[in-house]
Amino acid sequence: MSRRSSDVVEAKTLRWVCKRVYEAVQMDDQYDFDAVVIGAGFAGLYALYKLRDELNMRVRVYETGDGVGGTWYWNRYPGARCDSESYYYCYSFSPELAQEWEWSGRYPEQPEIERYLNHVADRFDLRPDIQLSTRVTAATFDDATNRWEISTDRGETVTARFLVTAVGCLSAPNVPDIAGLDRFEGEVYFTAKWPREGVDLTGKRVALIGTGSSGIQATPPIAAQAEQLTVFQRTPNFSLPARHGVFLAEHQASIKSNYDDIFAATRTSFAGFPFSPIDRATMSVSEEEREEILEELWAYGGFKFLWGGFSDLLIDPEANEIASEFIRSKIRETVEDADTAELLCPKGYPYGAKRPPIDTDYYDAFNRDNVTLVDISANPIEAITPTGLRTALVEYQFDAIVFATGFDAMTGSLLRIDMRGSDGVRLADKWQDGPRTLLGLQVAGFPNLFTITGPGSPSVLMNMPVAIEFHVDWIAACLEYMREHNWTRIEATEEAQDAWVEHVAEVGSHSLFVRANSWYVGANIPGKPRVVMPYAGGQPTYRERCNAVRDAGYEGFEFGADVRDEAVPAR
């Protein structure tokens, strides 16, 4: 080979090597993140904004849906509406956002909240860092690099220093294990996965299974459309009227001029609502006065019934029974058929022990000729048949079955990801007796994993956006602290976690929630350990605890550096 041609070969080789190195750098650049966030609902969108725009991190969000919104993307069944009021069920982090967004009325419907979250995604230019239509299937922590390796159902694998779950507390639908479901020849729908293009039930015989918030909200609009609606009820619920109404211009103006106070109040109140409970015991007033107060609350509508009349409904069984009986009297007053009314009256558990729904015309729907209530508490659905379903007593014919059967709450959305922590330990194994977290924010054995509104935090017992913002802010402060100290690994200690789990259980055991079978305690999922999953101690105590941990240099957490970087001492 001549000298000239060997130069050409060398130059070619060099170009080839350079190209490969460049590609490798590009690849690495593309598939390694400071943080991966799972979910693009309220929590995921704010986490992306906070970590990317305030902490200057490289963030990738994965979202299963083909749009943002999380809960408000999936739950688009007829009648889906928030049970918290619009002006405080929203973000507070941006005063400009709060001023520019117009809520149309008291309780926003699903499409309005979905529009709001899409507006947030556009306003803060979040979309470039969100990958839609992608489910995270597995995540494994690598002790050697202090990074998570995250795999998706699209065959991608990326790495990230931190993994932040924003998967929602009510996101893994509960599909009851009823024989024959796959053989049903009609249409099958789940309220939690309602088709985006909508469903026309006109002229159809429809079965609706489940009478939680979703079934209760869906009943009136489905009844108005279907030829025949049969509601299958396993447990009756205490539902309160929402009394939804549109906002007038003066409402809007008053809300906007008071936003600072409203948001400040949401951060200090017991459950993240901008109100303080009235300080009055049920028994401190005469029977007549009590009745008057309850009537006023009923007329006002919504959750004010819980805190706006008496302070002891959720504490004193006698007070609770008075409120419960008042609601039953309203059901009996509304529903014309006495037997149906009696079936709709909840008995055997206190008001508030199950998540209380609020509704629009739910009980009235049972006065329609085309609506029937079937009590399946004693005679459960035995099988779905090709043309309907049957209980031990009756066989029914249907064109469509709607499952409003709820969720594998709080843990289901985390456990459906094959999550493996330090030394390959599986989250499913760690949580086989119930979820264990430190403050609902981290799990011992799962370094660099943060769980927004995880079990063990107030989460679903709070106004969710407030709970979410608090968690994201806490996580962001923690990451900044780590950056200052050059730490790349954080992990809850087993001891601190044990103490927190014990405290959550202790507080839960004194709460009302142990007195009913609900998703708060996992009772809706066969075989799920019975544990009060949310922290029932209230927002003020919880915030105080989280802030104290932060101020003590993240007491209960251990920090470390990259194993290759011996210069940085661990703690």
Q: Which parts of 490-519 interact with ligand NA7 (CB under 6 A)?
A: 519
Residue 519 CB, nearest distance to ligand NA7 (Å)?
5
Q: Among 69, 70, 78, 210, indicate the residue that binds ligand NA7 (CB under 6 A).
A: 210
Buried b (16+ CB within 10 A) or exposed e, 401-431: bbbbbbbbbbbbbbbbbebbbbeebebeebb
The residue among 176 and 556 lying less far from ligand NA7, judged by its C-beta, is 176
Q: Which of 86, 165, 213, 320 binds ligand NA7 (CB under 6 A)?
A: 213
Q: Does 50 bind ligand NA7 (CB under 6 A)?
A: no
Contact map string, positions 217 to 236, toward ligand NA7, x by CB under 6 A: -----------------xx-
* Stretch near ligand NA7 under the rule CB under 6 A, chosen from 117-125, 138-146, 207-215, 291-299: 207-215
- The distance of closest approach from Cβ of residue 158 to ligand NA7 in the complex, given in angstroms and rounded to an integer, is 32
In terms of Cα–Cα distance, which of 435, 444, 439, 467 is closest to 533?
A: 435
**Distance of alpha carbon 345 from its chain centroid, rounded?**
28
| Integer Cα distance of 341 and 369 in angstroms | 15
Residue 211 touching ligand NA7 (CB under 6 A):
yes
Q: At CB < 8 A and 24+ separation, what contacts does 560-564 make?
A: 560/146, 560/447, 560/487, 560/488, 560/489, 560/490, 560/491, 561/146, 561/486, 561/487, 561/488, 561/489, 562/145, 562/146, 562/488, 562/489, 563/143, 563/144, 563/145, 563/146
Question: Smallest distance, Å, CB 525 to ligand NA7?
Answer: 8
Least distance between ligand NA7 and beta carbon 409 (Å)? 7
User: Residue 78, interface with ligand NA7 (CB under 6 A)?
Assistant: no
**Smallest separation, CB 421 to ligand NA7 (Å):** 29
Taking the least distance from each CB to ligand NA7, the nearer of 341 and 521 is 521
Scan for tokens 């704010």, then name that residue.
46
CB within 8 A of 138, min separation 6: which ones? 150, 151, 417, 418, 419, 420
Site for ligand NA7 in 387-426 (CB under 6 A): 404-406
Choosing from 39, 65, 215, 301, the residue that interacts with ligand NA7 (CB under 6 A) is: 215
Give me the least distance between CB of 395 and ligand NA7, in Å please. Answer: 17
Q: Residues 6 or more apart from 141 whose CB is under 8 A from it? A: 147, 148, 149, 420, 421, 422, 446, 447, 448, 449
Size of the residue set binding ligand NA7 (CB under 6 A)? 21
CA-nearest of 135, 166, 173 to 417 is 135
Binding track, positions 159-198, relative to ligand NA7; x by CB under 6 A = -----------x---x-x--------------x-------
Residue with CB nearest ligand NA7? 212
| Strand-strand pairing, 371-375 and 240-241 | unpaired
Q: Which residues bind ligand NA7 (CB under 6 A)?
A: 170, 174, 176, 191, 209-215, 234-235, 355, 376, 381, 404-406, 519, 524
